[in-house]
Amino acid sequence: MSDADAGTVVFVAGKLGFKDGDLVQELGYDEDVDFDLRDSIEDLVGSGLLDEDDHEVADAVILWWRSEDGDLVDALVDALTTLDEGGVVWILTPKSGRNGYVPPAEIQEAAPTAGLHLTTTAGVSADWAATRLVPRKKQ
């Protein structure tokens, strides 16, 4: 990776709102994830990503999700299990035309059922897009 590409990846990790000291849980890890993005998140927060077996309260969750991964609502509900109040869920999906592509409408449908609200989307790498979800405010 060139220095320019490395700088872009670190910028993207920061743009996702991660900061030093954050605990970030990673769900849906597989060999197709963007390793540069993962590394930049770890560098930015100063520690490794928590996996699905960790039960610490997380400041954020990144969920790698592909069309063949099953029930998105269930996965989103699971992502909330250890999420701290005020935390965010970033669902990372393959971009249009990539294997495992998830239409945005699928995320828009699943999020409210799981108690989440879609706030923003961002391209985070050549192959992955990110959608930011936050828990709905309690009435």
Range name among 12-16, 75-79, 107-111 with the lowest pLDDT average: 12-16
| pLDDT (0 to 100) of residue 113 | 96
Query: Above 70 in pLDDT, residue 124?
Result: yes
Strand 83-94 and strand 116-123: the pairing is: unpaired
Query: Above 90 in pLDDT, residue 24?
Result: yes
CA–CA distance, 89 with 133 (Å, rounded to integer): 5
CA–CA distance, 10 with 12 (Å, rounded to integer): 5
Given a contact cutoff of 8 angstroms between Cβ atoms, the answer to whether 20 and 46 are in contact is yes
Strand 58-64 and strand 24-27: the pairing is: parallel
Residue pLDDT, tens place only, 55-98: 899 999 999 999 999 999 999 999 999 999 999 999 999 999 99
CA–CA distance, 51 with 61 (Å, rounded to integer): 10
Summary mean pLDDT of the chain = 89
Residue pLDDT, tens place only, 31-64: 999 999 999 999 999 999 999 999 899 999 999 9
Query: Above 60 in pLDDT, residue 1?
Result: no
